[in-house]
Amino acid sequence: MIKAVLFDTFGTIVDWRSSIAREGAAVAAQKGVADFDGDGFARAWRAGYRPGMARVTAGERPWVSIDVIHRERLEEILPQFGLPMLDEDERDHLNRAWHRLTPWPDSVPGLKRIKSKFLISPLSNGSVVLLSTIAKRAGIPWDFIFSSDMHRAFKRNPAVYQNAIRLLGMAPDEIMMTAAHNDDLEAARKEGMRTAYINRPTEYGIDQKVDFEATSDWDIIADSVEGVADGLDCPKI
């Protein structure tokens, strides 16, 4: 019997690519940058995400939050996108665009349904302020928040899943992990958790190379959070 359902956030619940493209384009317009490629900017920024976390996970640098990794990657790409003139406040504000990501249309309606039967929380690489700010702006009704800075580790480090299980004080198979990324679910299944896959084939746009479909027999396979709610027999609201 499932008691809690955890969710990856970037890509699974929120559409980071269009959110970041929009914020980048707004800054570029304000600075008079012509021919700004908002989608390319979002994809280039995101391309620093996994390598940035990998250095922490490999022990090559001490723990830093995802906000620091986002900021370092932003510094790298600002010149190539014609925005080297941004001052500290402008860079800080733009970096917090990751705190203002907007959900996919099915996310909030689906989460409300799942919340009616289960405890719901992100299990995300975001920081607690990032995740709670996104939720507050978007009306995502998390029961609580598991952020990477609470675990001081990033997925797919097994410590993240183990720590979540320990904090919940539940049997692993009483907890379901939901993600649009097969490797996240593989890591959760290794710890004994149940799994739900949501297909988000447009998450990375032209950069997307994997996760066009479920690559294993996950407990639920769906195209939306509403689909996961259906799979969990959650009532319509």
Binding residues for a copy of itself, rule: CB under 8 A, are 65, 67, 115, 119, 121, 127-129, 131-133, 135-136, 142-145, 147, 149-150, 167-170
SS3 of 32-89: the string is CCCCCCHHHHHHHHHCCHHHHHHHHHCCCCCCCCHHHHHHHHHHHHCHHHCCCCCCHH
Shortest Å, Cβ 165 to a copy of itself: 12
In the chain, the DSSP E strands lie at 4-7, 119-122, 175-179, 194-198, 220-222
Structure tokens at 236: 């319509």
Smaller CB separation from a copy of itself, 163 or 199:
163
Smaller CB separation from a copy of itself, 32 or 235:
235
Shortest Å, Cβ 152 to a copy of itself: 10
Smaller CB separation from a copy of itself, 149 or 211:
149
Q: What distance in Å separates the CA atoms of residue 190 and residue 74, rounded to the nearest whole number?
A: 34
Smaller CB separation from a copy of itself, 118 or 218:
118
Smaller CB separation from a copy of itself, 98 or 218:
98
Q: Measured in whole angstroms, how far is the alpha carbon of residue 34 from the centre of its chain?
A: 30
Shortest Å, Cβ 4 to a copy of itself: 8
At 169 the three-state DSSP class reads coil
Residue 20 DSSP one-character state:
H
Shortest Å, Cβ 79 to a copy of itself: 26
Shortest Å, Cβ 194 to a copy of itself: 17
